[in-house]
Structure 1
Amino acid sequence: MVIVTTIRRDVLTLPVAELGPDNPLPPLRPLDETHRVDDRAGADLPRDMARQIRYEPLRSVLPERIRDGYDRRREPRGIDTIVIENDRLRAVVLPGYGGRVVSLFHKPSQCELLYRNPVVQPACFALNGAWFSGGIEWNIGATGHTTLSCAPVHAARVPAPDGGEMLRLWEWERLRDVPFQVDLWLPDGSDFLHVGVRVRNPHERPAPLYWWSNIAVPEERRVLAPADEAWHFGYERRLRRVPVPEYEGVDRTYPPRSVFPADYFYEVPDGQRRWIAALDDNGDGLVQTSTDVLRGRKLFVWGSGPGGRRWQEWLTEPGTGGYCEIQAGLARTQLEHVRLDAESEVSWLEAYGPLATDAGAVHGADWALARAETERRLSEVLPRSDVDAAYEAWLPYADTEPGEVLAVGSGWGALEVLRASHKLPGTPFEESTLGEPQAPWVELLRTGAFPEPRRAGPPGESLVAPHWRDMLETAPAKPLTEYHLGVAQWHAGDLAQAVRSWERALELAPSLWPLLRCLAVADQEAGNRERAADRYAEAFDDLCQERRDDGPAWTAATAALGREAVGALLAVRRTGEARRVRDRLRPATRARGRFRLLEAELLLAEGDRDGARAVFDEAFEVADLREGAETITALWTRLTDEPLPPHYDFRMRPTPD
């Protein structure tokens, strides 16, 4: 009996923590990015690597918003999925969460090839906040997890090269202002999921490009790649070349043998086939391979230390198995961005599937033999020439217009196509996808004027690309126009002009708090902390007077502004005013873990050390604790010399001497 490949909708029920509302305050501050090389380390790097590390690093996540409205209360909920299946494999895709492949099940062996997280628990790992672990995610934009980690993408059926069907995922990546697509298909009888990826730059200027396909696999594996050296990057922000497999007397190709979280970017020689595998004690597991454009390969480990173990528990259910990540990217390391020329594109093909090897060989002390055995078996089940041929067969189908729409993403791509009439065959961004967030920008495009709001509320999203900034500059100078223009000017590095735009808007604006908050951030960046505190206090007062209800939008705005205001007031030791701001927050907001931590800091500033310690003893959880953040540890060490309690230990690097 021949079982043909099928694509169908389904629903997956999991314990899910709701995302909640986005933070309505524009993210004006530079990224406090953990994945950044210390400037002193750059002198020892290869010239091309150092150049690409310096090339267009991301300074902020504008025009995206920060997603920090989630908590840690999980309830069973049905999640829409798209299932791709043949007689050998079944892949489950979440179009509402960046198109992530959450399961790749091999039917003959009855084995799940990926680490499959039993929950959806957002945590602050994406560039804009919310992210969750597990499966295969498509990271585009800039160093870190994509802003689309917890966002919907477009999805549709498309004819496949073998006469069957593909699942096409596509979206407009807003940090770099480029569209991309991911085509997934399972040829009949194939043990490998084929993935064709294309990123296009439709603009008349080059664009910095970043891509890493991130694959979570159980950590009780040996990870193999065709390399004898790797670039080690830890949370000390140092990048250094190390031998593979053994480094400092430990075989690092076994993830649990490291102590602290770390990246190992494998130095794959030119001309060598690109692949990476994670194999269990029996020599079985997952292999990923690709055409040569996707040159980089990486292993990320959480390590065996208390911080790494705590993060693993944080991201899933206690008692479930740990995971590591094997990845494939366009550059040698994730700290680099490559140039995508104007009006050009880049594409490649990836393949994911099972691999069975001789366990004695792949787990032996002879690294060359272990690599050779892995590559020999890969060549038998999927020759390199077959991958190249599959890519060439897919290319003519990359422009094929989609058929049945299976999921709808954002309207931002439709707005860009409407603005510039981009021709993007294969990835239609239909006007029907335009929604409320895009409506004022459509009006600006069509009339030359940005509309003032019809009712009071937090401002909508700002667009910061040069073409939108130009339109704002020529639009009538109304308060909301000046607000958005200031955000765009700030993003472009014209800080003085941004301040002037916000100050002009203050003279006529019915709503002052968004402008005062922007000016407060400008004061902080300029080192004027007292004036920043004044403006934060005034902004919070204005917000409390203007707030119309306790709905999600106003609550999110009050929480976000209140949190920043308390921090600014504490920074200049105005504890009484900080206390008054905190006390005006809603009780439900004050009960959140982030605000419990803020309360402990406030109590300590007030001299109530016992009260601050009591907050810790009550065991709070900061749902949006940032990857690499040491705020809990720092406050604890100010309170006591006692060891940090395990449930607060999220340290990702050795404690500095």
Structure 2
Amino acid sequence: MGELYARIREEDIRIPTYHIREDPNPPLFTPLAPWVYPYPRQDEILRPRDEEVSYRAVVMENPYLRVTVLPQLGGRVYSAYDKTAGREIFHKGDVIKPARIGLRGAWICGGIEFNFIRGHHVMTMSPVDYLIRENSDGSVSVTVGHMERRSRSRWNVTLTLHPDRSYLQVDLKLYNRYRYRLDFYQWSNSSVEAREDLFYPYPTEYIISSGRRLYRFPIQGGLDISRWKSIPIAHDLFAIGTEADFMGIYYEEADVGMVHYANHYQAPGKKIFTWGTDDAGR
């Protein structure tokens, strides 16, 4: 094995981008107002102008991984490149092309999106605070975060890369400045490539859909729903009754996969979302 190291740097990267025009006024007296106000809507997605936009990126690298974070796009992990397998771990969009899915409208898939309070969070397409750090143990970190103006609470996500480890460490901190409890949820949204050989080795016997329908897992009615190719339409599938600390995906033909590991008492949720295999999903 060669030299063990962990390095961090900032650099500008250029990505073709569909522009967004923000409403100059925040939404008032609309169904979404309680979750969006005082942030303006980002509904107007403009046609592309064959223009590349410069983004300030934070890049962390060790012998195994190269991780690129974009603070200008909600602090998301834009790329996580596996040097051993020679491939991206997550889906990496070559173009920033929003769809109207987020709380404020615009949203993109790809990488890892960190969400707080509700839904695809209000800052998912906007700049957040960030801080880079070289740690005394040889690791490197970037912290991204935002003070959410509706609740006046703050979230921080710290991503750390160690010299001798082939995983990305994620630490979350939530700050409530008030004496009363706040109603919110936190979830991390990881996008992976949809392929025929993709399946989900989830440690559960039952899952429930967003429509509250219960399914056996992995075999439901003779169909193996742990495989991407088995689900034709868009579905949310939530694991229930699991006490395992992991969830993951695996590509059989490529013989590569990914595992998320966390204490299930602190991070109890496990969810699969698929757009489905039919034309609408593709």
Give the 5 Å matches for 1:67-466. Answer: 67-74=42-49, 75-142=51-118, 144-160=119-135, 162-220=137-195, 221-233=198-210, 238-270=211-243, 272-292=244-264, 293-309=266-282
Whether 2:34 is the aligned partner of 1:18: answer no
Computed over aligned residues only, the root mean square deviation of the Cα atoms, in angstroms, reads 1.9
The 10-residue stretch of structure 1 (149-158 or 62-71) with the greater mean CA deviation from structure 2: 62-71
- Give the secondary structure class of the aligned counterpart of 1:308: coil
Give the Å deviation of 1:77.
2.2
Give the Å deviation of 1:159.
4.8
- Give the secondary structure class of the aligned counterpart of 1:7: strand
Superimposed CA distance per residue, residues 493-533 of structure 1 (whole angstroms, 9 cap, x where no aligned partner): xxxxxxxxxxxxxxxxxxxxxxxxxxxxxxxxxxxxxxxxx
1:5 partner amino acid: A
Distance 1:59 1:280, change over 3 A: farther
Superimposed CA distance per residue, residues 395-440 of structure 1 (whole angstroms, 9 cap, x where no aligned partner): xxxxxxxxxxxxxxxxxxxxxxxxxxxxxxxxxxxxxxxxxxxxxx
- In the alignment, the residues of structure 2 paired with residue 170 and residue 60 of structure 1 have an alpha-carbon distance, to the nearest angstrom, of 18
Contact 1:27/1:66, CA 8 A, preserved across alignment: no
Superimposed CA distance per residue, residues 21-66 of structure 1 (whole angstroms, 9 cap, x where no aligned partner): 33525242113xxxxxxxxxxxxxxxxxxxxxxxxxx944222221
Residue in 2 aligned with 1:362? none
- In the alignment, the residues of structure 1 paired with residue 78 and residue 26 of structure 2 have an alpha-carbon distance, to the nearest angstrom, of 32
Identity in percent: 27
Q: TM-score, normalised by structure 1?
A: 0.41
- In the alignment, the residues of structure 2 paired with residue 263 and residue 216 of structure 1 have an alpha-carbon distance, to the nearest angstrom, of 14
- In the alignment, the residues of structure 1 paired with residue 68 and residue 90 of structure 2 have an alpha-carbon distance, to the nearest angstrom, of 11
Distance 1:16 1:181, change over 3 A: same
Give the Å deviation of 1:19.
1.8
Contact 2:131/2:143, CA 8 A, preserved across alignment: yes
Give the Å deviation of 1:120.
0.2
Give the Å deviation of 1:94.
0.5
- Give the secondary structure class of the aligned counterpart of 1:213: strand
Give the Å deviation of 1:268.
4.4
Superimposed CA distance per residue, residues 321-374 of structure 1 (whole angstroms, 9 cap, x where no aligned partner): xxxxxxxxxxxxxxxxxxxxxxxxxxxxxxxxxxxxxxxxxxxxxxxxxxxxxx
Contact 2:238/2:271, CA 8 A, preserved across alignment: yes
- In the alignment, the residues of structure 2 paired with residue 167 and residue 95 of structure 1 have an alpha-carbon distance, to the nearest angstrom, of 10
Give the Å deviation of 1:248.
4.0
Superimposed CA distance per residue, residues 64-116 of structure 1 (whole angstroms, 9 cap, x where no aligned partner): 22112322315222222110111110000000001110111111221211111
Residue in 2 aligned with 1:29? 30
Residue in 2 aligned with 1:5? 6
Residue in 2 aligned with 1:327? none
- In the alignment, the residues of structure 1 paired with residue 151 and residue 261 of structure 2 have an alpha-carbon distance, to the nearest angstrom, of 26
- Give the secondary structure class of the aligned counterpart of 1:256: helix
Q: How many residues align?
A: 277
Q: TM-score, normalised by structure 2?
A: 0.91
Give the Å deviation of 1:160.
3.5
Give the Å deviation of 1:188.
0.7
- Give the secondary structure class of the aligned counterpart of 2:20: coil
- In the alignment, the residues of structure 1 paired with residue 67 and residue 150 of structure 2 have an alpha-carbon distance, to the nearest angstrom, of 29
- In the alignment, the residues of structure 1 paired with residue 151 and residue 248 of structure 2 have an alpha-carbon distance, to the nearest angstrom, of 28
Distance 1:245 1:161, change over 3 A: farther
Higher radius of gyration, 1 or 2: 1
Give the 5 Å matches for 1:512-527. Answer: none
- In the alignment, the residues of structure 1 paired with residue 103 and residue 150 of structure 2 have an alpha-carbon distance, to the nearest angstrom, of 10
2:269 partner amino acid: G
